[in-house]
Amino acid sequence: MKEGIHPDYHEIKIVMNNGTEFMTRSCWGKPGDVMKLDVDPTTHQAWNPNAERNFSKAGQVEKFRNKFAGLESFTTKKKA
């Protein structure tokens, strides 16, 4: 291994949304720093199917249609 080209790899503390803490090794921050997660596997719907859903698919489609309603490609035209 070459000397001086690798980042400092040290222990940091991870704090999840529910207060769970654990130590891991990372190149982020300085030794002993604390990383507080805004989104983590216990609360994000991509990893936890029981997590509260904060969106409505129908609402997203309607928002998209309203945003791009004036564009020509979204108007319905019948071809002859």
pLDDT at 12: 96
3-state secondary structure of 20: coil
Weakly modelled stretches of the chain, pLDDT under 50: none
Distances (CA, A) of 69 to 59, 62, 77: 15, 10, 14
- The model scores a pTM over 0.85: no
- Distance between CA atoms of residues 66 and 17, nearest Å: 35
37 neighbors 16 (Cβ within 8 angstroms): yes
Beta strand 21-26 with 10-15 is: antiparallel
